[in-house]
Each structure stands twice: as structure tokens, then as C-alpha cells.
Amino acid sequence: MEIQKLRAPELPAAMDLCWRVFQEFEAPEYPPEGVEAFHAYISNTEQVKHLTGFGAWEGRNLLGVLAAEGRHIALFFVDPAFHRRGIGRALFQAYLAAGDWDRVTVHSSPCAVEVYRHLGFSPTAEEQRSPDGIRYTPMAWEPKTESE
């Protein structure tokens, strides 16, 4: 497996992966307007091209995607056929290595809260629902200090 920054020509495949995984794991827990809002977000090519994205590749197959706006993770999806193989952790480590982050935030979907906990994130508030129907738990990651 190889982790590399996503290039513009790879964004459609990356957004397709995000959509497929979202439909399987997230959409059943969201109201219709939340599903529509997520699809509109990943379909907005102008918005998506400004994200810093990383892809996990095995040959020509895209296995996972992490995309962020600065220190805020916007998209983080791994193909279900490859869950529990360290792909998410490898993507997160690549993202951390590319920046000098003293804090990283995410609005975790309901089914990803435990994944983020395993990466060292902690909730900063209870689950919320945005006006467009997106359900999320605000979470943050901070590097451990030597005394921890």
C-alpha cells in the first residue's frame, strides 16, 4: 500500500469512494436532507479541489481517502473491503506528517466516532445536527506531550 497526496485528476475517483462508503455506512442514519447535503458537498468540484487530500493506493486501486481544510478533516473514508487493515491510521499519519498541527478537528459521523477515538481524538461536545441534516460529533486531536 502506498499513501500519496491526491492530484486533481484523482479527485473524481476519491469522491466516488467517499460517496459509496457514505451510502453504505452513513446514509441510513441521516435524514434525506443530510444525504443530499453530503452529496452536494462532494459534488462541488470547486470546493473539493481546495482540500488537501491523501489517498491509499494498492496498485491502481484507491482504498481510502482523507481530505482536510487545514487542520480540520473534512472527508475520511476507507473502502469497506479494506477496513481494519491500518489504512485509516496510515492516511492520518500521512496527513499529520504533511503539516505542523498542534490540534486537529473533525465533525465525526455517528459511526466513525470510535474510529477517531482509536486515532486519539476526543469529543469536544455532544452529537449535533446541522440545519442541513448532517449529524456529527465535534472531536479534536492534540499531540501527546512527553509527560503523557
81, 61, 64, 83: which is closest to 73 by C-alpha? 64
The model's confidence at residue 147, banded by pLDDT at 50, 70 and 90, is low
Q: Where does residue 84 rank: exposed (0-12), middle (13-18), buried (19+ CB within 10 A)?
A: exposed
- pTM score: 0.92
| The pLDDT of residue 119 | 96
Write the pLDDT tens digit of every residue in 67-101. 999 999 999 999 999 998 999 999 999 999 999 89
